[in-house]
């Protein structure tokens, strides 16, 4: 079911107005699609308003991905899939502030060269400054449209996407014209991605489960950040608002895995859910950053709701490592 406009959209606009100001909202009414995309990635976000800001959720991801509470997906990639590898050349597309790539660059024996490409100038400039401060000489940056730039052919050992692949529209063109030629014959792909419904058009069952999860959270822990609004219900995202906020947002996310499988063999995939928790915690995550016994009990119940949902439904988020065919 396609939802063009929902009550959730009006709540989200009001919340963003309080959190980020009128300038951010006004930027979404640019007639230029590229400007709206750029504004989405150049804006520094209010802290602790999303599920990834909750330490207990991060620990949950670690356990689901690496089977170890203290080993995140980056260390799992390095110590498991890239164990004993040396002098790897890495291409990161849509790398944002390059926080993960900067971390990889600190392992200079494993990674001899990392190229980050992103459309957001603020992100690239911030990443360059951090890399210079850390005296990292094996990481480089490009602020360019990935479809318009060129890469060395048969050169990279690994291509990575960290929450960026779901922003690309013509996935087959991206893989056929950019990724496959750039990779060596034995090259690999690593993704940490949202692979759920396009434009967040969640099925009815998912929305019902999200609301069942919200029902167990006490009112005082459901106040949306920077507002007095209580998040009693999730109404689903409207297509119009998602597109207006960022025309690239989850534009072809549901097609990611089929495209990956066309060009790569699966080495390993690990789900970390998100079908329920992402929408539940949006704008109220800050309540669960610092925990007490009550909040921990609530989190445990929410985690079980998502785990039960995942038993019968495909995950919205996963980490995958693949070998070029």
Predicted confidence (pLDDT) per residue in 201-213, tens digit: 999 999 999 999 9
Q: Which range among 29-38, 59-68, 283-292, 308-317 shows the weakest confidence by mean pLDDT?
A: 29-38
- For 113, the enclosing helix (H) or strand (E) is strand 111-118
Per CATH, which fold does 7-324 belong to?
A: Rossmann fold (3.40.50)
pLDDT-based confidence at residue 108 (cuts at 50, 70, 90): very high
Report how far residue 314's alpha carbon sits from residue 52's, in angstroms, rounded to the nearest whole number: 20
The pLDDT value recorded for residue 218 is: 98
pLDDT over 70 (residue 259):
yes
Q: pTM of the predicted model, to two decimals?
A: 0.89
Residues 155-193 pLDDT 10s: 999 999 999 999 999 999 999 999 999 999 999 999 999
Q: Please, which pLDDT band fits residue 37 given cuts at 50, 70 and 90? A: very low
* pLDDT band at residue 31 using 50, 70 and 90 as cut-offs: very low
In the block, tokens 């025309």 appear at: 247
pLDDT at 29: 44
- The more confident residue out of 273 and 40 is 273
Annotated domain spans of the chain: 7-324
Residue 208, SS3 per DSSP? helix
Over residues 58-82, mean pLDDT:
98
| Mean pLDDT in residue range 273-289 | 97
Averaged pLDDT score across all residues of the chain: 91
pLDDT band at 21 (very low <50, low <70, confident <90, very high): low
- Residues 6 or more apart whose Cβ sits within 8 Å of residue 91: 115, 117, 151, 156, 158, 159, 160, 182
* pLDDT band with cut points at 50, 70 and 90 for residue 16: confident
Measure Cα distances from 270 to 65, 66, 81, 267, 300 in Å: 5, 8, 13, 10, 21
Instruction: Report, as an integer, the average pLDDT of 40-45.
Output: 43
Average pLDDT over residues 283-308: 97
- For residues 123-152, average pLDDT: 96
Q: Is the pLDDT of residue 38 over 60?
A: no
Mean pLDDT along residues 125-136? 97
Mean pLDDT (whole number) for 114-122: 94
Check residue 285 and give its pLDDT. 97
Give the length of the chain.
Answer: 325
Q: Cα separation of 318 and 236, whole Å?
A: 22
What pLDDT, on the 0 to 100 scale, is given for residue 118? 95
Residue-level pLDDT at 9: 81
Query: How far apart are the C-alpha atoms of 99 and 304, rounded to whole Å?
Result: 30
* Stretch 56-66: mean pLDDT: 98
* pLDDT value at residue 11: 84
Q: How far apart are CA 269 and CA 47, in angstroms?
A: 29
Q: pLDDT at residue 308 above 60?
A: yes
Helix (H) or strand (E) holding 127: helix 121-133
The helix-helix angle for 204-215 and 293-310 (nearest 10°) equals 160
């Amino acid at each position: 079911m396609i939802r063009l406009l929902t009550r959730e959209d009006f709540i989200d606009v009001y919340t963003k107005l309080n959190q980020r100001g009128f300038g951010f909202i006004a930027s979404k009414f640019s007639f230029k699609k590229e400007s709206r995309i750029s504004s989405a990635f150049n804006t520094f976000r209010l802290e602790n308003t999303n599920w990834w800001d909750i330490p207990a959720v991060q620990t949950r991801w670690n356990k689901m991905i690496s089977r170890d509470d203290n080993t995140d997906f980056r260390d799992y990639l390095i110590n498991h899939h890239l164990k004993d590898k040396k002098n790897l050349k890495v291409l990161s597309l849509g790398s944002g502030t390059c926080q993960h790539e900067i971390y990889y660059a600190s392992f200079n024996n494993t990674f001899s060269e990392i190229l980050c490409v992103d459309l957001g100038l603020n992100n690239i400039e911030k990443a360059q400054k951090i890399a210079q401060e850390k005296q990292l000489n094996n990481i480089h940056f490009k602020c360019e449209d990935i479809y318009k730039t060129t890469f060395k052919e048969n050169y990279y050992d690994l291509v990575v996407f960290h929450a960026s692949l779901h922003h690309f529209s013509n996935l087959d063109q991206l893989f056929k014209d950019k990724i496959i030629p750039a990779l060596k014959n034995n090259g690999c792909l690593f993704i940490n991605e949202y692979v759920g419904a396009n434009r967040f058009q969640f099925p009815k069952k998912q929305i019902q489960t999200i609301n069942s999860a919200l029902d167990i959270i006490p009112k005082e822990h459901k106040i949306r950040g920077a507002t007095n609004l209580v998040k009693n219900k999730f109404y689903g995202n409207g297509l119009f608002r998602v597109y207006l906020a960022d025309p690239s947002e989850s534009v072809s996310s549901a097609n990611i895995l089929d495209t990956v499988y066309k060009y790569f063999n699966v080495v390993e995939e690990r789900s970390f859910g998100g079908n329920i928790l992402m929408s539940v915690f949006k704008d109220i995550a800050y309540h669960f950053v610092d925990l007490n016994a009550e909040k921990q009990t609530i989190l445990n119940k929410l985690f079980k709701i998502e785990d039960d949902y995942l038993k019968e439904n495909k995950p919205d988020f996963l980490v995958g490592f693949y070998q070029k065919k």
